[in-house]
A = this chain, B = another copy of it.
Amino acid sequence: MMSEETKSDRVREQVAERAAAPSKAAQTRSAILDAGRAFLERHPFRELTVGNLMAATGYSRSAFYQHFNDLHGLMEALLDEVKGGIVEGAQPWLSGDGDPVASLQESLTALVDVGHEHGSILRAVSDAAPSDDRLEHVWHSFLGSFDVIVAARIAEDQERALTPEFDPMPVARALNRMDAGFLIQAFGSVEKSDKDDVLAAIMRVWLSTLYPFDPTVSIDGREH
Residues of chain A at the chain B interface (Cβ within 8 Å): 44-46, 126-128, 130-133, 136, 158, 161, 163-167, 169-171, 173-175, 177-178, 180-182, 185-186, 193, 197-198, 200-202, 204-205, 208-209, 212-213, 218-224
Q: Are B221 and A201 in contact (CB under 8 A)?
A: no
Q: A45 — which chain B residues lie within 8 A by C-beta?
A: 130
Q: Are B205 and A175 in contact (CB under 8 A)?
A: yes
Q: A219 — which chain B residues lie within 8 A by C-beta?
A: 164, 212-213
Given A165-B221, A209-B208, A219-B212, the answer on whether A201 and B181 have CB atoms closer than 8 Å is: no
- Copy number in this complex? 2
> How close is A187's CB to chain B, nearest CB, in angstroms?
12
> How close is A39's CB to chain B, nearest CB, in angstroms?
15
